[in-house]
């Protein structure tokens, strides 16, 4: 199977396996406030992750790259979407373009159409410092995401089987790169133990990439006969993973994994996230309804977030970290068991 075919498979299966809605957000509630003492116009949606700032609390999370004409077109449209709505955007893993320069244009198109935007590069934890520098330079990236995807690798016959030394390599990159490093999971969640280890390093932020949305175990299991389907239900639900990581880490927490709508976004911010990533839902919307409708949808989400923050009396994203919330059911039990309630 060619790399291009694998990338196309991932898109097709991501769309067909869909979002599972197992994120835990349905067990998280805000407490209504009758006297918020605020006007909608006073609500500001700016994200601040250390030195990284952009005008929205949302970023488009890493998806495509490599794979030829169809992925180039998708990346061009995602880039225009980010430019028109002020979202930050991450490109998909750039390793293929570091190995084959012919693949560079599917990534470069993202910077070309959003020359002044907030753009994140993306590599796996096997990357060297030089590869990290080259990935940043390729798209003039403002930050570099390094993804952790142990379960996806294990479910791929051709995947990695040795995960030693990842933290040391990430630390080495963070110490030697000119832009911030964001460590991200890819749909299985960051535990408090992993968040603690990452907090001791010099990385700049943690994207908890939780369970409940796009599921790479399901995607890989559908692509072949040998099923490791015990991994299909594996992972830390997104709402839980935000709470676990925020409780123990002094790094900014980014939330992603199954974020579907404005209420999921505001609940993520309420649980402690500083910005929120969306991948599968945005890709699906773009491919099903086109660029213009997707731009309109994102603008609507921004307005909805402003209304929700107004109802909660919050002028800035950080204010959401202090609003009272009630947790119930599985998520309450989980956090109690983990000593985090
Ligand atoms: C991804 N994701 C991903 N992540 C990453 O760090 N590098 C990558 O190259 C890719 N590639 C990729 C392709 C496709 C088609 C999808 C749908 C996703 C994972 C993505 O960034 C995110 O972590 C997960 O999809 C969970 O978020 P959602 O989709 O539930 O919002």
Q: What is the pLDDT of residue 187?
A: 97
Question: Do 187 and 153 contact (CB within 8 A), yes or no?
Answer: no
Instruction: Report CA(268)–ligand 1 centroid distance (Å).
Output: 18
- Ligand 1 site, CB within 6 A: 10-11, 14, 61-64, 92-93, 122, 145, 147, 184, 186-187, 209, 213-214, 256-259, 278-281, 283
Q: What is the pLDDT of residue 61?
A: 98
Written as six digits, the tokens of 58 are 């949302």
Residue with the smallest CA separation from ligand 1 atom 1 is 63
Q: What is the pLDDT of residue 64?
A: 83
pTM: 0.97
Q: What is the pLDDT of residue 314?
A: 98
Instruction: Report CA(64)–ligand 1 centroid distance (Å).
Output: 8
Dihedral sign (CA 300, 301, 306, 307): positive
Instruction: Report CA(296)–ligand 1 centroid distance (Å).
Output: 23
Residue with the smallest CA separation from ligand 1 atom 29 is 280
> What are 121-162's pLDDT values in tens digits?
999 999 999 999 999 999 999 999 999 999 999 999 889 999
Written as six digits, the tokens of 90 are 């991450």
Closest ligand 1 atom, residue 11 Cα = 15
Closest ligand 1 atom, residue 93 Cα = 9
Strand, helix or coil for residue 38? coil
N-terminal to C-terminal alpha carbon distance within the chain? 47
Q: What is the pLDDT of residue 165?
A: 97
What CA–CA distance (Å, rounded) separates 271 from 324? 10
Question: Do 254 and 276 contact (CB within 8 A), yes or no?
Answer: yes
Q: What is the pLDDT of residue 153?
A: 95
What CA–CA distance (Å, rounded) separates 52 from 179? 10
Residue 159 burial (CB count, 10 A): 13
Residue 158 burial (CB count, 10 A): 7
Q: Which residues of the chain have pLDDT under 50?
A: none
Written as six digits, the tokens of 69 are 């004409």
Q: With a cut of 0.85, is the ipTM above it?
A: yes
Note the residue count of the chain: 341
């Amino acid at each position: 199977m060619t790399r291009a075919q694998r990338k196309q498979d991932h898109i097709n299966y991501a769309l067909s396996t869909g979002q599972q809605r197992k994120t835990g957000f349905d067990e998280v509630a805000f407490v209504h406030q009758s006297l918020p003492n605020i006007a909608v116009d006073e609500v500001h949606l700016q994200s601040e992750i250390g030195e990284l700032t952009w005008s929205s609390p949302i970023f488009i999370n890493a998806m495509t790259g490599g794979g030829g004409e169809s992925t180039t077109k998708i990346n061009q449209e995602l880039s225009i979407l980010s430019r028109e709505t002020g979202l930050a955007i991450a490109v998909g893993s750039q390793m293929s373009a570091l190995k084959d320069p012919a693949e560079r244009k599917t990534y470069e198109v993202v910077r070309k159409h959003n020359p002044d935007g907030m753009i994140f590069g993306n590599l796996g934890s096997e990357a060297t410092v030089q590869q990290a520098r080259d990935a940043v330079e390729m798209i003039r990236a403002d930050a570099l995401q390094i993804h952790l995807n142990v379960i996806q690798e294990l479910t791929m016959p051709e995947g990695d089987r040795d995960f030693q030394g990842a933290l040391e390599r990430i630390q080495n990159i963070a110490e030697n790169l000119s832009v911030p490093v964001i460590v991200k999971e890819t749909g299985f969640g960051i535990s408090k133990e992993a968040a603690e280890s990452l907090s001791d390093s010099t990385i700049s932020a943690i994207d908890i990439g939780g369970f409940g949305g796009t599921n790479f175990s399901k995607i890989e299991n559908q692509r072949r006969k040998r099923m490791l389907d015990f991994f299909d239900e594996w992972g830390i639900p997104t709402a839980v993973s935000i709470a676990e990581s925020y409780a123990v880490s002094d790094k900014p927490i980014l939330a992603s994994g199954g974020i579907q709508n404005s209420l999921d976004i505001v609940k993520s911010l309420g649980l402690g996230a500083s910005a929120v990533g969306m991948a599968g839902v945005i890709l699906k919307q773009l491919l099903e309804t086109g660029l213009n409708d997707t731009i309109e949808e994102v603008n609507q989400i921004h307005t909805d977030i402003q209304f929700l923050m107004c109802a909660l009396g919050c002028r800035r994203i950080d204010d959401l970290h202090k609003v009272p919330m009630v947790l119930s059911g599985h998520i309450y039990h989980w956090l109690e068991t983990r000593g985090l309630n």
